[in-house]
Amino acid sequence: MRVLVTGVSGLERERAWPRVSPDFEVVDLGKLMLDVAREREMDLDERNILRADRDTLAALRAAAIARVTPLLPRDMYPGKILIVSAHSVFARPEGLYEGLLLQDLKELRPEVWITLIDGPQAIHERLKQHKAEYFHMSVAEVVKWQELEVFYSHHLAGDLLVGGLKVPHFVVPVTQPEAFRAIAEGDKRETAYASYPMSHASVEVKALIDTFVERLKEHFIVFDPKSVESSHGMQERYTQEDRRAISSHTIVRDLDWFIRINADAVVAYWPAVVFSSGMSDELRFAHGNGKRTILVTERQEGGLPLLSPFLTYKAEVFWSSEDLFAYLRLPDLEQRVFRVCQEEMVEAFRLHDAGAATLTLDTFVAGCKVLARYRLDGHEFERADSGLPRIASLVYESWKPLLDRASRRGLPRQGNHDTG
């Protein structure tokens, strides 16, 4: 696998790949350019190379790529991952300009492209210690550089597709080596963005969220906004421009990069009724961009939480994390049956909780069969019919503690009424 890795300076990008594989090779294009300059006895080093003009840098880059191309054939490194580390955009005191051209990419022939990112404040602090002349950059300018690095990388990857080379592009936090590893090794799992309350979540809710996200990683390649959160790390010394840039960067990162570019699905976890404008906006954005959207909440002792129709219209709803993970372990057709049984359970529970009907496993299975005939086409129903009682039983047992509590109350009441 040939993996092109781009990103701004100050990432400490080696944090992303120390555990990629025991059998991988990393080639740093920038270091090769410095080797070429030194061999040519040019007065350029890591400190001042960005003073060179565009043509000089292009010539050095072409010479460096010529040293990489012998490593590219698959039979040179069977089973290995070859990582070529580079910049898409150079940052010089007088402005930003391209660090890669389409012709460079045609010679490198990447099979997958990863742009690494980190919080702009963390990058800014590291650049203060960098040997190159990055002392001129403010936090706001780091934001612009990182956003242009991603934009230009994604643009060039699209140009390769037009040229006949399909190169998937991902934006990965340098702090998520497990996601980097999965993509670099060709993991075929779907990608998912984890959405959840952050600003207003209690310590207890945050603990539930952390556990949920870790379990989600068993089923998806997960992009976790907390791994690179920046809007909560403001410093007094930052200017108003820095603060505005950081805030807008958070929105660009989560919506445009993690959801639009990366994600096959958005999985939102809302274990308690906590205000979260970000989670709601992320679901709406994903839904509007054709992504699969899932909302997971948790059943409460008093019944089901009341969910606004402005949430439920844009996502598949699961009423507990256990239900979601049971569902994800099933094959495709059984997942459809599970969704039918869950739909039947929500309505049956409302009647049971209100004292209007008593729900048993037998009546539940019968109700699921009726609804499955309605929801599935004839061929699907025939294939699913024999296994339906098992899936219905799985759903029933998951909800049974809540059903039992409603039965013990013994009074006709609605468990998920709006108390407001």
Question: Could you tell me the CATH superfamily of domain 1-188?
Answer: P-loop containing nucleotide triphosphate hydrolases (3.40.50.300)
Note the pLDDT of residue 220: 98
Contact yes or no for 269/238 (Cβ under 8 A): no
Contact yes or no for 401/385 (Cβ under 8 A): no
**Angle of helix 321-328 versus helix 388-409 axis, rounded to 10:** 170
pLDDT tens-digit map of 216-264: 999 999 999 999 865 555 667 889 999 999 999 999 999 999 999 999 9
Whether 1-188 and 189-329 share one fold: the answer is: yes
Note the pLDDT of residue 418: 40
Please tell me whether residue 319 adopts helix, strand or coil conformation.
coil
- Low-confidence spans in the chain with pLDDT less than 50: 411-420
Note the pLDDT of residue 234: 62
Domain boundaries, the chain: 1-188, 189-329, 332-420
Please tell me whether residue 316 adopts helix, strand or coil conformation.
strand
d(CA 185, CA 83): 11
Contact yes or no for 222/209 (Cβ under 8 A): no
What is the pTM assigned to this prediction?
A: 0.90
CATH architecture for the domain at 189-329: 3-Layer(aba) Sandwich (3.40)
List the strands of the sheet with 221-223, edge to edge: 221-223, 191-195, 265-270, 292-297, 316-318
d(CA 171, CA 188): 17
**Helix, strand, coil in percent for the chain, rounding step 5:** 50, 15, 35
Contact yes or no for 188/219 (Cβ under 8 A): no
Contact yes or no for 286/256 (Cβ under 8 A): no
Note the pLDDT of residue 75: 64
Beta bridge partners of 96: 91
What is the distance between the terminal CA atoms of the chain, rounded to a whole angstrom? 57
Q: List the one residue out of 18, 22, 24 whose CA is nearest residue 3.
A: 24
The H-assigned helical ranges of 136-260 are 139-162, 177-184, 203-216, 240-251
Note the pLDDT of residue 411: 46
